[in-house]
Each structure stands twice: as C-alpha cells, then as structure tokens.
C-alpha cells in the first residue's frame, strides 16, 4: 500500500482493502486480498477505511471520489470513476466507504494485469493502492490451477532465513531456545513459462484456535529451477526475547483466499524430530511436474502431437517403432507367451542444446503412462549437482533420494557425462552416483525410466566408461541441429503460443538472423532456445514501440500483437557489437614503443609492430572501422626465452594506447589454468580466464599442450570455448598463443576453426651470439655490475659454446638469466671471503674472470665431455 501523509480535521486514512463476493464463505477463507483470478470476479469491491476524528462529537457528511486504473508499464489506463457520499455518525470511531466495479458475469470485465485504485476527499488524494488479477482459473482446495502442493514443514531460525542446509526442522521446538518459527511451503508451478503473482497467508494458531500471528505475502512466482518447484516462507517470532510458550500450534496456509494446507507442531521442554502432522490436499497425480490432472490422450492424439513437432524426422520414426514394438511385447504377454525379455525404458539422448531432447522425454512420459509401463506422467530433471554430494558419504543417499522422487515416472539426467571424470581421478564422487544408478537398474524396485542426455561425443565416452552403463543403455536417440527453415518454423510456433504474429516484412530479416547464427554455430548453439530468445526480445521491442505510440485507446489487438520489421531491425541493432572509440594515448604509446626499442634483437617483431601502429593511425584519421580491420589475435612462434611474454606485455599496452583495448592488462595462463579434471568444468575454468582478460590480452604459453594426447578431450573442450569467445567477443580482448614452431603448427591444425581466427603469425628467431651477450651485459648492468675485460672474454666464450650446441629447447634469454644469476652468486661468494674493509664500491661492482671461469665445472653451461675448448 502507498499511504498519503495527509490528516484532515475530520478523518485520518487507515487503509484501502479489496475483496469479492463469493460462495466460499468459511472460516478458512480470507476476505481482503490483493490478488484475484479473473474467473472468480463479477464485481470487485473496495473498502476505504478511515478513523473518524469527530467521534463522539458530531455527525458529518463525507464525499469521496474513487478512481480505478489499469497499469500498463508507466501508463495509467482509466477504468472507472465513482463518487460516494457517506454520512459519518458520531457514534462510530471508524468509517468505511465502499464502491465496486464489474459485471454480473464472472470473467467478463476484469482481465489479467496490474491495477490501481485511488481515493480522493475534496480533490486531495488520500490513499492509493495496487492489486493484481491473474487468469489461470478459479482456485479451490481440490482443484488448484496454479500449482501442485508438494510439502509443508516448519523450522526454527532468527529473523533472517538460513540456507536450506542450515535449517533445523522439528515437530517439537524447545521453548527456552526458539526465537522464530517458520513455515516452509513448497509447491510445483504449473505455469513455468509465465511470471505471475500469488497471495499467500500464513496463520498461526494455538491449541484453543486463538490466532497468535499472521504473515501475508504477495509473491512474484517465477520458476528458475528445472523441476518448476517454488518455496514460500512465513514466520513469526522475536530476535530479542523468547515469545514461544509450551503449547500445540497449527499453521494454516491460505492461497488466493482459499485454505490449502495446515501443519501441526509443538513447543515444549525438549526438541523432537518425529513426523509432522500435515493436512494436505490430495495430490493430482496428472499434475506432477508437467501436465494437468485431466490430461489423458488416446494413442492417435499422442502421435498427432509427436508428428506435429518441427523436424526430428528420425526421432519421430523411432518413437513410432518403439511404441508399437512395446505393444507387440505386451500382446505376447497377454497371449500367455512367456519370455525373459524385459521392456527397456532407459534411453541415451545425444545432441546439442535446444534440439528437443526434453520435449521428447516428456512425450515418452505420456507414452509410458498410456501403455501402463509407469504409474505417472512425469519427468524429473536433474544434473550432476543434484546427484553428487560435496563430501564423502553424501553422494549415495543423495542419488537414492533423487531416484525415489522420480519413481513412477522418468528420471532425466542432463549433461550426464559430467558424472564421469577421467580414469586418472578414481576418487571422484560422480563414480559413486553411477554405481547407485546401475544398482537401481539391476535390482531396484523398478517403476522408473532413466534417460541420460548430453553432447554426442561426451555421452559416448560416458557410456563406455562403465560396462554396466553400456549394457543397460542400448537405445540411442540422436538429435541433430535444426535447419534454418525449421528454426524459422519454431520461431513462428513460439510467436503463436504468445498470441503473436510475425509480419511478412519482419520474416525476411528474422530468417537472415537465423541463417547467420546457424553458419557460425558450434556445439553450444542453442537451436530452438536461440529462436525462442529472439521472439521474446522481439516481443519486448514490440511492447516498447506500442507503449511509446501515445494512442493506446485506438490500438487494435492486431496492432499490439504483430511483430513488425522495425521490431526485428531493433533486435539486430541491439545485437550488433558497438565498440568505444578511444583516442590514441600518445604518452603511453611513446613509452611502450621505447620499451620495444630497448629490447635486444627482435627486429622482425619490431617492424611488424611499427607497421601496425602506422596503419591504426591511418585508419583512425580516415574514420575507418579500426577493430573490424584488425585482428587482435596473434600466434607467437619461437623457442623459449626469445621474448614472447615480454612482447605480449608491451603489446597489451600498445593496444591500449591505440584505443584498441580498454584496459590493456595481460592475463598469463597455460594448460593447467584452463583444463579441469572432468568434462564440463573445463568450460567453466576457461571462461573465467577469458572473462578476466576482457579489455586486455589473454596470453596462453605452450598453447599446443591443449591439443596434446595428455590433455585428451578436456583440452579440446577448452579450445572450443576459446574459439567461441574469439568469435562472440571480437574487439573486446586479444588472444596471443605461444609455443615451439612444429608444435604450434600441429596445434593450429588440430581444429579447423583455429587457424582462421588468427591473422597475425609472428616468428621470434633465436637471439644471435652478440644479442645474447648484449642481454647478459644488460642484466648485469641493471644490478650495478660491470665486467673486467678478461671476464667479458670468458662470458663471450661460454655464450658461443652453448649457442653452437643449441637445440630447440635452448633457453635463449632464459639461459642468459640463469647464467648471470650464477655469475652474481659466484661473485658474492668471492666477496664474502674478503675482509670488510677491502669491500670498496669499486670492488663490489666488478665481475672478474674467476667469477665466470668457475662455471666450467657446471653441467648447465658446459655439457660433459666437451668442457675444454682451447683456453
């Protein structure tokens, strides 16, 4: 409610209350409400309740004006205005002004939406309040079109509701230790495709039916979990004092003014966790999870719906064949023919997201129920997280609990391959879940079907990972990606379900969007989910366009239901990548190029970078699209120590200075940073690193390791995620992969999409002898050290000796780093033997021949059998 802070000499506002007249008048029905169903409303009444400030003084005349509106976005559509004159008696401390609006026929006047009623007194707004109308049907305890009751429990807590794993559920609470007692009301949403308002009231009564507390809640019901379950809480208590007395209590749950369920609990001296006494509505079995109670279709009707599915020709054929083969087996049994063959209810569904796997699972649920193979027309959908516990000993009971919840219907395990890690991780809890599933299929009580689903390659490996799985899952349904024309048909069906149409002018750009997305697709392509999202976004554009038109009253149903070309064009515009235009940071660019110039050698690399800088300047001056003209993705090829990481760090700053990247930071990683222990987690780890690198450079050293046999398919999974990110986030980050020449060539050839994503291949040659010597001198100079002439000669000989015997593992600058570190260590050891007085600044800064000559005994610098070479 919205209270207006206005107190007059004659009245003080109290509240605005809404109600309907109905035949549900029992003690369990709530009179005043904020949410109604259009099918129960003939007239909707509103009471304005106020305090009479002239109580016990004099009678007076009150003239009120009631205005009702339907709220559409930020607009108020006027419905009715009513003026009410009321004589307020001095004998009454309160007054009630009542009005109503509607028609005699229920459902004829009010429709789904959000409404507002305002009350004025002498042209001044006294009060306004909102209420809601939904449209799923009149609610009774026996027939609830909004949800199916699942559970009602009670737990203790403080005023803040704890996570589920931390809740303490009791049938008897300890009086001297209990602060708050909450009711936890769980139900299954029968309309997961929509967002709706529900009004829930929790009434708390003591043993003599005296109400000790009430909680009223207006919930926005939306289903975010795969099994469409929702939970509403209502609790009373105190954080500062003990308020619960020893007694027997009852909590009633009222929904939309109708009593739904109650639970009884006790407050006593000691806590207890025995079974709760719950008065619950009888479960409508047909409502379980997916379909309403009155759902019963004959064989012809079921297959008419199967055949109406877009595409999936091979799946439809298999469903027909399976159905009639099962009927054949049942016929043999009815004729008394004995057979040990059992009807297999377990399937493997393989395919990319949005290809219809869950839809077909639901149809199988109906077929199984129709044939009497399962008790319920139900699909219970789970994934690894629902089956696998966090600690030792949790997985088996957790998996068994899921199986029991699904018993009577279908247990659908999405991304089932995530239960199996590589053979190198025998301690994974997912293996325990697999064993429980196999045991259930071997000697469990039955009355359950299990469908495992996921990507084709991963599912093949999952099934082959355990002989028990392979023998029990031998029916495979392969779901191919939808073709573009099929996706357009699905888009039209989605629009039809939303009472929308797609104009012929809008269809062409929509189809082009679908074709473009189809051509770029990978295994994560959303198929039907993708086009469903397009229609949702197009409807949003339609809604915004309609509401901005400014002439709502003259609009027809067609006007507000037809997706036009302008709505699709807006969708395309929203999806196009918009890049910020950063000016060139001349100071940072100069600093970064100076760093480049100070690097020893790398002349080819420096040339390529300078040319890139010149072209970016030219394109910016010419107002060309710089980011679409340049690829920020590079392949650095070269042996270790040739400066690849250093160059990557400087290039990150150059990209930032040129306005190509926003942040210009470098994120270094390798195979271990990207690849996880089992399929499914690698994508998460890789995505996290990519997100960290947004606006900067992701540098993957030894990238070829992702395609090596040791990485298996986990490395390939990382590559797929990287490829998609390169395509979807073009211009938002730079990827630099680095490694040896031959290995990097093999890596780029390992995936057809890799080589085409990289435009720049930069070769880092090994440093020459003179360049290595220059690097060594630079490292020593940075430590304020200098060499005497004999030491320089000795250093040159070592570098020349190692250079002439190098292989592809030669460390280049890394070798020089190790060499100079060793020389400095030798110098420090020599100086430690000198008396302190002799350690002058000159002596401390000088490298002598002995500091280097002693390295002749070190295998790292002189391989055995070749230490003597002419000095």
CB of 703 closer than 8 Å to CB of 689: no
Q: What percent of the chain has pLDDT over 70?
A: 90
Enter the tokens of residue 840: 């002058």
Both 176 and 265 in one domain: the answer is yes
- Write the DSSP string, 459-475: HHHHHHT-HHHHHH---
For position 343, what pLDDT does the model report? 79
Q: Are residues 570 and 617 in the same domain?
A: no
Tell me which of 457, 478, 499 is where a domain ends: 478
The enclosing domain of 827 has a CATH number of 1.10.8.60
Are 63 and 97 contained in the same domain?
A: yes
CA–CA separation, 712 and 697 (whole Å) = 26
Q: What is the largest distance, in Å, between two alpha-carbon atoms of the chain? A: 126
Tokens 């207890």 map to which residue?
272
Using CA atoms, how far residue 421 sits from 362, 431, 458, 681, 682, in Å, is 29, 8, 11, 10, 11
Whether residues 608 and 749 fall in one domain: yes
Residues 6+ apart with CB under 8 A from 464: 470
The answer to whether 306 and 324 are in contact (CB under 8 A) is no
pLDDT in tens, 828-862: 998 888 998 888 988 899 999 888 887 765 555 55
Using left for φ > 0, alpha for ψ between -120 and 50, and beta otherwise, residue 415 falls in: left
Residue 763 scores a pLDDT above 90: no
- pLDDT confidence tier of residue 1, bands split at 50, 70 and 90: very low
- Rounded Cα distance between 443 and 374, Å, is 17
Q: For residues 601 and 499, state if they share a domain.
A: no
β-pairing verdict for 196-205 and 211-221:
antiparallel
> In this predicted structure, which of 71-85, 568-582, 682-696 has the lowest mean pLDDT?
568-582
CB 325: neighbour CB atoms within 10 A? 11
Residue 800, pLDDT above cutoff 70: yes
Q: Which of 548, 576, 604 is the last residue of a domain?
A: 576
Judge if 130 and 168 occupy the same domain: no
**Which pair of tokens denotes residue 509?**
């750009």
| Poorest-pLDDT segment among 66-75, 421-430, 542-551 | 421-430
Does residue 352 form part of some domain? yes
pLDDT score at 579? 53
> Residue 467 and residue 435: Cα distance in Å, rounded?
11
Q: Three-class SS string for 603-615? A: HHHHHHHHHHHHH
> Do both 551 and 591 map to the same domain?
no
List the one residue out of 758, 741, 733, 723 whose CA is nearest residue 667. 733
CATH number at residue 21: 2.60.40.10
In a domain, 701, yes or no: yes
Query: Do 743 and 595 belong together in one domain?
Result: yes
Question: Domains in the chain: how many in total?
Answer: 6
pLDDT tens digit sequence for 264-305: 999 999 998 888 888 888 754 333 333 333 334 456 777 787
pLDDT band at 2 (very low <50, low <70, confident <90, very high): very low
Q: Which two structure tokens, joined as six digits, stand for 725?
A: 């990110």
CB 527 within 8 A of CB 353: yes
23 falls in which pLDDT band (50, 70, 90)? very low
pTM for this structure? 0.45
455 assigned to some structural domain: yes
3-state SS, residue 300: helix
Q: Ramachandran region of residue 720, left (φ > 0), alpha (ψ -120 to 50) or beta?
A: alpha
Phi, psi of 211 (to 5 degrees): -75, 125
SS3 296: coil
Instruction: Let me know whether 634 and 748 are in one domain.
Output: yes
HEC profile of 767-778: CCHHHHHHHHHH
| Token code pair at residue 402 | 């899921």
Q: How many CB atoms lie within 10 A of CB 299?
A: 13
Helix (H) or strand (E) run with residue 263 in it? strand 258-268
Range of the domain at 43: 11-134
Give rounded-to-5 percent helix, strand, coil for the chain.
Answer: 40, 25, 35
17 and 121 together in one domain: yes
Is the pLDDT at 253 greater than 90? The verdict is yes
Strands 449-454 and 113-121: unpaired
Separation between Cα atoms, residue 367 and residue 373, nearest integer Å:
8
Mean pLDDT throughout 738-755? 79
Residue 713 sits in a domain whose CATH number is 3.40.50.300
Q: How many CB atoms lie within 10 A of CB 723?
A: 18
Q: Residue 235 and residue 159: Cα distance in Å, rounded?
A: 8
Whether 634 and 701 map to the same domain: the answer is yes
Would you say residue 525 lies in a domain? yes
Q: What's the distance, CA 768 to chain centroid?
A: 52
In a domain, 2, yes or no: no
Domain boundary among 226, 244, 279: 279
Q: Is the pLDDT of residue 260 over 90?
A: yes
Tokens of 406: 């699904």
Pairing label, strands 697-701, 734-739: parallel
Structure tokens at 590: 């100069």
| 537 and 591 fall within a common domain | no
| Separation of alpha carbons 94 and 55, rounded Å | 8
Query: Closest Cα partner for 378 from 362, 357, 396?
Result: 362
Residue 312 included in any domain = no
In a domain, 339, yes or no: no
227 part of a folded domain: yes
pLDDT at 679: 55
């Amino acid at each position: 409610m919205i209270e207006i802070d206005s107190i007059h000499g004659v009245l003080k506002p109290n509240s605005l209350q809404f109600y309907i007249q109905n035949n549900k008048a029992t003690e369990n029905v709530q009179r005043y409400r904020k949410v109604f169903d259009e099918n129960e409303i003939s007239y909707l009444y509103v009471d304005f309740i106020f305090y009479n400030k002239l109580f016990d003084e004099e009678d007076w005349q009150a003239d009120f004006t009631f205005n009702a509106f339907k709220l559409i976005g930020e607009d108020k559509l006027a419905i009715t205005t009513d003026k009410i004159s009321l004589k307020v008696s001095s004998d009454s401390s309160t007054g009630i002004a009542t009005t109503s609006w509607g028609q005699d026929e229920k459902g004829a006047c009010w429709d789904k939406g959000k409404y507002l009623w305002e009350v004025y007194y002498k042209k001044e707004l006294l009060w306004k309040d909102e209420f809601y109308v939904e449209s799923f049907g009149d609610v009774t305890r026996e027939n609830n079109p909004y949800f199916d009751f699942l559970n009602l429990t009670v737990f203790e807590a403080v005023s803040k509701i704890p996570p589920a794993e931390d809740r303490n559920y009791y049938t008897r609470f300890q009086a001297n230790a209990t602060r708050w007692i909450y009711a936890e009301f769980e139900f299954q949403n029968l309309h997961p495709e929509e967002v709706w308002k529900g009004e829930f009231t929790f009434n708390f009564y003591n043993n003599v039916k005296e109400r000790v507390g009430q909680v009223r809640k207006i919930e926005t019901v939306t289903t975010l979990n795969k099994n469409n379950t929702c939970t509403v809480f209502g609790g009373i208590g105190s954080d500062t004092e003990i308020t619960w007395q020893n007694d027997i209590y009852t909590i009633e749950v009222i929904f939309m003014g109708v009593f739904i369920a109650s639970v009884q609990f006790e407050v006593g001296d000691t806590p207890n966790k025995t079974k709760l006494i719950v008065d619950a509505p009888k479960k409508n079995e047909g409502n379980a999870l997916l379909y309403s109670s009155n759902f019963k279709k004959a064989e012809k009707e079921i297959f008419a719906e199967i055949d109406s599915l877009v595409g999936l020709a091979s799946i439809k054929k298999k469903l027909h064949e399976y159905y009639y083969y099962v009927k054949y087996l049942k016929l043999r049994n009815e004729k008394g023919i004995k057979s040990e063959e059992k009807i297999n209810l377990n399937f493997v569904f393989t395919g990319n997201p949005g290809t219809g796997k869950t839809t077909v699972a639901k149809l199988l649920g109906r077929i199984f129920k129709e044939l009497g193979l399962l008790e319920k027309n139900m699909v219970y959908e789970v994934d690894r997280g629902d089956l696998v516990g966090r600690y030792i000993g949790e997985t088996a009971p957790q998996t068994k609990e899921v199986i029991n919840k699904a018993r009577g219907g279908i247990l659908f395990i999405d991304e089932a391959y995530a239960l199996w890690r590589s053979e190198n991780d025998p301690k994974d809890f997912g293996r325990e879940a697999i064993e429980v599933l196999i045991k259930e299929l071997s000697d469990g009580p039955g009355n359950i079907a299990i469908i495992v689903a996921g990507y084709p390659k991963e599912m093949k490996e999952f099934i082959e990972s355990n002989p028990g799985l392979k023998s029990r899952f031998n029916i495979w349904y392969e779901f191919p990606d939808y073709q573009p024309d099929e996706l357009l048909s699905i888009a039209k069906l989605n629009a039809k379900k939303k009472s929308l149409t797609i104009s012929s002018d809008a269809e062409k750009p929509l189809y082009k969007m679908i074709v473009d997305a189809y051509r770029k697709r990978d295994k994560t392509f959303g198929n039907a989910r993708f086009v469903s999202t397009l229609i949702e976004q197009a409807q949003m554009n339609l809604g915004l366009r309609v509401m901005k038109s400014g002439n709502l009253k003259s609009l027809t149903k067609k006007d507000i239901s037809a997706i036009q070309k302008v709505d699709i064009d807006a969708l395309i515009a929203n999806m196009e990548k918009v890049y910020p235009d950063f000016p060139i940071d001349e100071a940072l660019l100069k600093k970064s190029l100076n760093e480049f110039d100070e690097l020893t050698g790398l002349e080819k690399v420096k040339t390529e970078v300078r040319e890139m800088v010149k072209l970016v300047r030219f394109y910016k001056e010419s107002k060309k699209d710089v980011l679409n003209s340049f690829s920020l993705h590079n392949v650095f090829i070269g042996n270790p120590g040739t400066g690849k990481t250093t160059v990557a760090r400087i290039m990150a700053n150059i990209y930032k200075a040129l306005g190509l990247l926003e942040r210009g930071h470098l994120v270094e990683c390798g195979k271990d940073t990207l690849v996880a222990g089992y399929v499914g987690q690698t994508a998460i780890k890789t995505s996290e690193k990519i997100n960290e690198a947004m606006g900067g450079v992701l540098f993957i050293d030894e990238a070829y390791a992702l395609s090596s046999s040791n990485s298996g398919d986990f490395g390939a999974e990382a590559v797929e995620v990287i490829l998609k990110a390169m395509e979807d986030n073009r211009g938002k980050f730079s990827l630099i992969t680095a490694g040896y020449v031959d290995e990097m060539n093999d890596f780029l050839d390992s995936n057809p999409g890799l080589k085409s994503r990289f435009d720049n291949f930069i070769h880092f040659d090994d440093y020459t002898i003179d360049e290595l010597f220059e690097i060594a001198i630079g490292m020593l100079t940075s430590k304020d050290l200098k060499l005497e002439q004999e030491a320089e000669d000795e250093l040159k000989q070592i570098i020349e000796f190692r250079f002439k015997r190098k292989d592809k593992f030669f460390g280049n600058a890394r070798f020089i780093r190790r060499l100079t570190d060793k020389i400095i260590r030798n110098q420090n050891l020599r100086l430690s033997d000198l008396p302190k007085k002799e350690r002058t600044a000159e002596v401390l800064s000088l490298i002598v021949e002995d500091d280097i000559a002693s390295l002749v005994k070190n295998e790292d610098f002189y391989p055995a059998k070749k230490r003597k070479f002419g000095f």
